Amino acid sequence: MALIAAVDLGSSKVVALIAEVDAYGELNVIGFGRVNQDRAIERGMITKLESAANAIQSALREAQEMAGVKTTSVVIGISGPSLKSQNEREIVHISTPPSRITQENIDRIIERVLSRSREDGYEVISAIPRRYTLDDQEVAYDPIGLVASKMQSEVHVIKFASNPVRNIENVLSGLGFEVRERFASPIASAEAVLSQEEKEEGVLLIDLGAGLTSYCVYAEGSPLLTGSISIGGINITKDVGHFMKVSVEQAERIKVEQGCALTEMVSEDEEITIVPRGETSPIRLARKKLVEVIQIRLEEIAEAVRQELNKNKIDLEALHAGIVITGGSAKIEGMKVFTERFFQSAARIGLPVGVIGLRDKLQDPSYSVVVGLLKLAYHKRFRSVVSQQQDGKNQFHDKLSRAFDKLKSILREII
């Protein structure tokens, strides 16, 4: 029975899932663990080693206990302010006269792109070939076996600061877990919530979390832009706290229970009751005031995403499938309408799909990353460079040990 464990290190919670691949080839989630954490992991980075390790261990232990299995390797999501991407073009000569394209030709392209994308302090999380052009004319998405004399490819390279990744991996290895694969978190969210059709038509995915707003753009079926901005639901909560002079816990509750993304969705006579600092009795306040505070921050976040698209010359109008919002803050009432108005584009809220088991629990946009990690690992899509290299080494070891076995049996026969 194949098992996959995934961990999402969010700014508000650590969540772990364990899935088995059932007899029908479906991903069946059998273990779930969640630990709400406060400031041990902020914006994708570990800020308090011991507390972070405790949260990760508890989430994984909870998931293992529910599943009744032990796992020693995990798939993790990476996100944070240093997440960035670039698209690189590379050409390889296949042969004259033309011959069939092999995996080695593709590996050559990736190797060259990797050596060209090297940057101090950063490491490549994924290198994803977007499409191939054969002999300057034909476009191919899976070129292995096709005949050509030269092949050009555009590769989407996703990078992240090396030290924060190392810190996460060190914590996990200290807990006895090997990091089997790493994926950029917004790519995992995309895997969980987007349909293939949306990816083909062009879509902007926004994962509106607690500390981060991570995003990726898909066009022609593959990622074109990946990144993350350091603002999220925590900022909205803090604004509500400041404005209403209430504690962060109270502000969080008010936001979740009474919040809304658009003032025009709230009528003038709606009221909320709060007890500000220094007051002993509750006071009434127009709900519209609360929603104004939320909307202003949401507009700032949306504007920051728009700037990123502009900077990268991506035209939203060309993304025919519009925008999909996921992450915990997608649950703010009115987020769909807010997004449609702000970006002048179609929008929907994305919930994770494509796994069975614990469906009710996982029908929540906060779990898009962790569900997507399971799916990416299972379908072996967009494999991280490290795991591909390890696979290469493993294949080498496999070949070597097969050669030894053969040698041993020959020797036995001779003896």
Ligand X SMILES: Nc1ncnc2c1ncn2[C@@H]1O[C@H](COP(=O)(O)OP(=O)(O)OP(=O)(O)O)[C@@H](O)[C@H]1O
19, 94, 127, 212: which one binds ligand X (CB under 6 A): 212
Stretch that binds Mg ion, among 21-29, 206-214, 222-230, 351-359 (CB under 5 A): 206-214
Size of the site for ligand X (CB under 6 A): 24
- Look up residue 95 and give its amino acid: S
7, 10, 40, 188: which one binds ligand X (CB under 6 A): 10
Q: Which two tokens stand for residue 294?
A: 């939320």
> Do 336 and 347 touch, CB atoms closer than 8 A?
yes
Q: What is residue 1's three-state secondary structure?
A: coil
Confirm or reject binding of residue 322 to ligand X (CB under 6 A).
Answer: no
Confirm or reject binding of residue 209 to ligand X (CB under 6 A).
Answer: yes
Rounded to whole angstroms, the Cα distance separating 30 from 15 reads: 14
User: Cα–Cα distances in Å, from 276 out to 240, 241, 290?
Assistant: 11, 9, 13
User: CB 227 → ligand X: shortest distance, Å?
Assistant: 13
User: Cα–Cα distances in Å, from 396 out to 104, 105, 217, 376, 400?
Assistant: 14, 18, 36, 24, 6
Confirm or reject binding of residue 209 to Mg ion (CB under 5 A).
Answer: yes
Cross-strand bridge partners of residue 26 = none
User: CB 338 → ligand X: shortest distance, Å?
Assistant: 12
- DSSP letter at 269 equals T
Provide φ and ψ at 98, rounded to 5°.
-55, 145
User: CB 329 → ligand X: shortest distance, Å?
Assistant: 4
Q: Using CB under 5 A, which residues numbered 147 to 166 contact Mg ion?
A: none
Q: What is residue 210's three-state secondary structure?
A: coil
User: CB 94 → ligand X: shortest distance, Å?
Assistant: 42
Confirm or reject binding of residue 327 to ligand X (CB under 6 A).
Answer: yes
User: CB 77 → ligand X: shortest distance, Å?
Assistant: 9
Confirm or reject binding of residue 366 to ligand X (CB under 6 A).
Answer: yes
In 3D space, the residue among 231, 199, 197, 201 whose CA is nearest the CA of residue 214 turns out to be 231
User: CB 232 → ligand X: shortest distance, Å?
Assistant: 4
Provide φ and ψ at 180, rounded to 5°.
-75, -40
Selection from Mg ion, ligand X, none that 328 binds (CB < 5 to 8 A by kind) is ligand X
Confirm or reject binding of residue 339 to ligand X (CB under 6 A).
Answer: no
Confirm or reject binding of residue 210 to ligand X (CB under 6 A).
Answer: yes
33, 328, 350, 357: which one binds ligand X (CB under 6 A): 328
Residues across the chain: 415
Q: Using CB under 5 A, which residues numbered 10 to 39 contact Mg ion?
A: 10
- Closer CB to Mg ion, 10 or 372, in the complex: 10
- DSSP letter at 265 equals G
* Residue position matching structure tokens 């691949």: 21
User: Cα–Cα distances in Å, from 17 out to 4, 234, 379?
Assistant: 8, 24, 16
Stretch that binds ligand X, among 187-195, 204-212, 272-280, 343-351 (CB under 6 A): 204-212
Selection from Mg ion, ligand X, none that 234 binds (CB < 5 to 8 A by kind) is ligand X
Instruction: Give contact residues for Mg ion (rule: CB under 5 A).
Output: 10, 209
Contact residues toward ligand X (CB under 6 A) are 10-13, 43-44, 209-212, 232-234, 237, 252, 255-256, 259, 327-329, 331-332, 366
